[in-house]
Amino acid sequence: VKDFEYAAAKTVDEAVALLASKGDRAKVLAGGTDILVQLRETNREADLVVDVKKIAELTRYEFSPTAGLRLGASVPCYKIYEDAALLQAYSALCDSARIIGGWQIQSRASIGGNLCNSSPAADSIPALIALDAKAHLAGPGGKRVVAVADFCTGPGKNVLQKGELLTALEFAAPQKGDGSHYLRFIPRDEMDIAVVGCGAWVRLDPSGKTIVAARIALGAVAPKPLFAAEASAFLAGKPATPETFAQAGELAKKIATPISDMRGPAEYRTHLVGVLTVRALTKAVERAGQGK
């Protein structure tokens, strides 16, 4: 590892000032499960690493059934899926937090770090997009809010400007009839990078039989995680049946532009989009029916 300075910021303003002072040569450190590996493998260098885990606002979360969830950017994964209230309200988020690495990784890795690392195959991002999460950013120019669906711009790239950091992720309050699920396909049972990932969120009407609104998001089939807009819009007003889910899967396949690599050829990944969309919707609807 090339030597770098380390600074632990205590406030968001301090972190912003530290990051702005070094421009591209400063990196944020949350759980470190991506950035430390990258610095060691020297595909990235830094003069200054700014630890944001000592900033109270970033390491806590607040949830109320009426106000929704404000998730500090550095909250580790295990805290999310161990909370029964979050498990019920934001199941897809918990599904993704539970499969990011093993439990050692989950005890440090944050959803904020997963998002800011902006891997096309990152597990939390399709879940965040399906849940329509909003990213709160702070930087030298002030604060702004960006929909997670618009956050990533390419592999490892996102809308963060120099000196800017993610402070929190915001989720709307769940309503009766909501359900969500995230799943990925990997050739092993655990600890692998998604060949394809799919997040789905649905809102059912009081009968539990008709979809009022839905959001589908895909990972690992394009240079960045995708919101499947046409497939999502198609589902509104449709009966929650296997036929409907299969049609949504076909629409989702239309936006997939995957690469072929050692994990699988492009045609296989596109096929998987249809399969995973059906499975994600099926589980999301089942959870919506159970009030989960």
Q: Is 97 near ligand FAD (CB under 6 A)? A: no
Closest approach, Cβ 246 to ligand FAD, in A, equals 27
Site for ligand FAD in 16-45 (CB under 6 A): 27-35, 37
Give the residue, chosen from 9, 91, 92, 123, that forms a contact with ligand FAD under the rule CB under 6 A: 123
Quote the least distance from Cβ 173 to ligand FAD, whole Å.
24
Of the residues 22, 70, 79, 108, which one makes contact with ligand FAD according to CB under 6 A = 108
When CB distances to ligand FAD are compared, the closest residue is 113
* Joined tokens for residue 36: 């430390």
Stretch that binds ligand FAD, among 85-93, 159-167, 206-214, 266-274 (CB under 6 A): 159-167
Nearer to ligand FAD, 124 or 244 (CB): 124
Rule CB under 6 A: say whether 110 interacts with ligand FAD: yes
Comparison of 96 and 244: residue with beta carbon closer to ligand FAD: 96
Assigned token pair, 111:
């959803």
240 forms part of the interface with ligand FAD (CB under 6 A): no
Residue 107 tokens read as 């005890």
Q: Which residue has 């895909």 as its token pair? A: 218
Of 170 and 250, CB closest to ligand FAD = 170
Q: Does position 272 bind ligand FAD by CB under 6 A?
A: no
Size of site (CB under 6 A) for ligand FAD:
29
d(CA 11, CA 52): 8
Q: Is 129 in the site for ligand FAD (CB under 6 A)?
A: no
Which residue lies nearer to ligand FAD by CB, 101 or 289?
101
Between vectors from CA 200 to CA 271 and to CA 264, what angle results, nearest 5°?
A: 25
CB of 1 to ligand FAD, least distance (A): 14
β-pair partners for 198: 183, 218
Distance of CA 13 to the CA centre of its chain: 25
**Interface with ligand FAD (CB under 6 A), residue from 9, 12, 52, 75:** 52
Compute, in degrees rounded to 10, the torsion defined by CA atoms 228, 233, 237, 243. -40
Is residue 117 within the footprint of ligand FAD (CB under 6 A)?
Answer: yes
3-state secondary structure 58-112: HHCEEEECCCEEEEECCCEHHHHHCCHHHHHHCHHHHHHHHHCCCHHHHCCCEHH
To ligand FAD, the closest distance from the beta carbon of 73 in angstroms equals: 4
Report which residue type is found at 185: F
Distances (CA, A) of 209 to 3, 73, 134, 180, 237: 59, 36, 29, 16, 10
Which residues have CB under 8 Å from 43's CB, separation 6+? Answer: none
In the complex with ligand FAD, the residue whose CB is nearer, 112 or 174, is 112
SS3 130: helix
CB nearer ligand FAD, residue 112 or residue 264: 112
Q: How far apart are CA 230 and CA 227, in angstroms?
A: 9
Using rule CB under 6 A, residue 166 touches ligand FAD: yes
User: DSSP 3-state assignment of 137?
Assistant: strand
Which residues contact ligand FAD by CB under 6 A? 27-35, 37, 52, 73, 99-101, 105, 108-110, 112-114, 116-117, 122-123, 160, 165-166
